[in-house]
Chain A
Amino acid sequence: MTATILHNLDLFIFLILLLCGYIVGSLSERRHYRSIEARERALLRLAVVTAEGRFDPYQVKDAFLVNGSVVISTDYFKRLLAILRNIFGGRVKAYESLVDRARREAILRMKEQARAGGAQMIVNLRLETATIGRSANRKKQVGSVEAMAYGTAVVIERQ
């Protein structure tokens, strides 16, 4: 038994990483989603729009740039699914949740920053994504995705 393991050490390490990737990855993903949903509910009343927004000068007390950025890593399990998808084609479902979490987390961080500055809304929201590590999808490399959200936070003059 030990001899078999030692002989196929690479294979065993791969399987262990795969198992770890799956268990830890799905646990942390579930926890992250719970946190995202709770914070989204809490920040629901802070409006974010992609529209430019036109205000009369006397309506705006303050306006400033807010941005939120987050980097989320894939795990071994997701990477394997994506590699297999590369063979068969089709939607890379494993990465969908990854990008979804990154986008929503980035927007949330941006909103938290806006609320800390006393803003009531954010206009002109923009989203950017980038891969971290150029060899993100290459052999023996686990890549990460960065999502960045930025917009203009507006503090409205109270009358």
Chain B
Amino acid sequence: MKFTPRLPRENVNVSSTHPLAELLWLTGGLVLIALSGYLLLGLLVDWAAESVPVRAENWLGAKAAEQFPAQPSPALQHRLDLLLDRLPVASPLHDYSFRVSLQETPEVNAFALPGGRIVVFSGLLEQVESENELAMVLAHELGHYAHRDHLRRLGRGFGVTVAAMLLLGKDSFITDFVSQTFLTFEAGYSRTQETAADDYGLKLLVARYGHAGGAVDLFRRMTDRSQAGIAALFASHPHPDDRIAALERVILNNGYPVEEPETLEDENWEE
């Protein structure tokens, strides 16, 4: 046999796929898996929000309350109790023992934490001018409980962070990144949830006072003034103009009377 030196025509040992194309396929697959996991988690959270017992919620609420240095406020509690008396007999909110507390923060906001803990920021009280407005704020938060939004909101961000923590460990910078991103993204309610809570709040307000006076006053004041503290509320809630329009539509459709709201007495909110 004669030896004929020649080079092989092609290299069978190296695939011809472009490395960037491979990266795209692989990361695409990974993103797809993550995305379906996220969606699945969303469904799971919806299911969990519907079925979690109040006892488990109270435990979660105690955890969440640690993040808010809020003091109990008897003055606010009294107003909340008056609202609670007007709840329909069949309301699921009767299972809760609601506690409202006050936090010294210039931010204009209020929170519905799990387990019936409502936190009102002092910045909000400074904006409120009538009893009816304050009742509307509290009733709005009760609306979130009635629709179990407070759990839904906590759940997804919580779930994603927990999932990242389990997969990558809590020291991983990806976990950090995920918790930063998702917890802030999920911190607000959706537009639909806010509108539904407004709707619920309005009905409770009418049940309490017999008229819808003061329901939109706070939102209206927010559109008029452009203060730094108010900007925070804009970030996590839909635009006040939309909320006013939606509320006025409900008032009109149901034929609620609108009367003069009661002036808010200057109270010692802290004690």
Chain A interface category by residue count: 20 to 34
Q: Are B7 and A41 in contact (CB under 8 A)?
A: yes
B62: interface (CB < 8 Å): no
Contacts A81-B26, A94-B22 given; indicate if A47 touches B5 (C-beta within 8 A): yes
Proximity string of chain A (56-89) to chain B, C-beta cutoff 8 Å, 1 when within and 0 when not:
0000000000000000000001101100110110
Total chain B interface residues with beta-carbon distance under 8 A: 19
Nearest CB in chain A: distance from B201 CB, A:
37
Contacts A41-B7, A84-B30, A96-B14 given; indicate if A8 touches B177 (C-beta within 8 A): yes
B6: interface (CB < 8 Å): yes
Contacts A81-B19, A94-B19 given; indicate if A47 touches B3 (C-beta within 8 A): yes
Q: Are B173 and A8 in contact (CB under 8 A)?
A: yes
B23: interface (CB < 8 Å): yes
Nearest CB in chain B: distance from A155 CB, A:
17
A157: interface (CB < 8 Å): no
Proximity string of chain B (26-37) to chain A, C-beta cutoff 8 Å, 1 when within and 0 when not:
110110000000
Q: Are B13 and A96 in contact (CB under 8 A)?
A: yes
Which residue of chain B has its CB nearest to the CB of A83?
Answer: B26
A interface list, Cβ under 8 A from B = 8, 10-11, 22, 26, 40-41, 44-45, 47, 77-78, 80-81, 84-85, 87-88, 91, 93-94, 96-97, 99-100
27 contacts between A and B (CB under 8 A): A8-B177, A11-B173, A22-B20, A41-B7, A44-B5, A44-B6, A77-B23, A81-B19, A81-B23, A81-B26, A84-B26, A84-B27, A84-B30, A85-B26, A87-B26, A87-B30, A88-B26, A88-B29, A91-B15, A93-B15, A93-B22, A94-B19, A94-B22, A96-B15, A97-B14, A100-B11, A100-B13
What are the 3 A-B residue pairs with the smallest beta carbon separation, nearest first? Answer: A84-B26, A10-B173, A93-B15
